[in-house]
Homo-oligomer: A and B are copies of this chain.
Amino acid sequence: MYGMQGKFTAHPGKRDDFIQILLRAADLVGQLPTCHLYTVSEDRADENGILIVEIWDDKPAHDASLQDPAVRALIGEAMPLMAGAPTSVEFNVVGGYGIKD
């Protein structure tokens, strides 16, 4: 499986609004059988930081999700709340505990 850890930085005071958009994205992608995890979290060390973790069947499944019109609409909604470019790290999941089939 393919995974991705990402960090978004919201404009001051906009983190909660940004998070609500990401939770709606999670609801959308969670309906796809290729998506195993999509968590939305507050960075404990940065009051404007938002951390997401995604796990998918493979990278193409993840990349395809970004082409979904409903997901693209949410990205468009989130863009004005974003301060600077997001950062991310990609990984290949070997195993562990708690990953949904």
Contact = CB atoms under 8 A, between A and B. Distances in A.
Contacts of A100: 98, 100
Contacts of A22: 96
A47 B81 CA distance: 35
Given A3-B39, A5-B51, A44 B92 contact: yes
B37 A93 contact: no
B42 A96 contact: no
Interface in A67-101: 89-100
B98 A42 contact: no
A97 B38 contact: yes
Nearest to A22: B96
Contact of A39 (B19, B23, B45, B99): B99
Given A53-B5, A89-B45, A40 B98 contact: no
Contacts of A45: 89-90
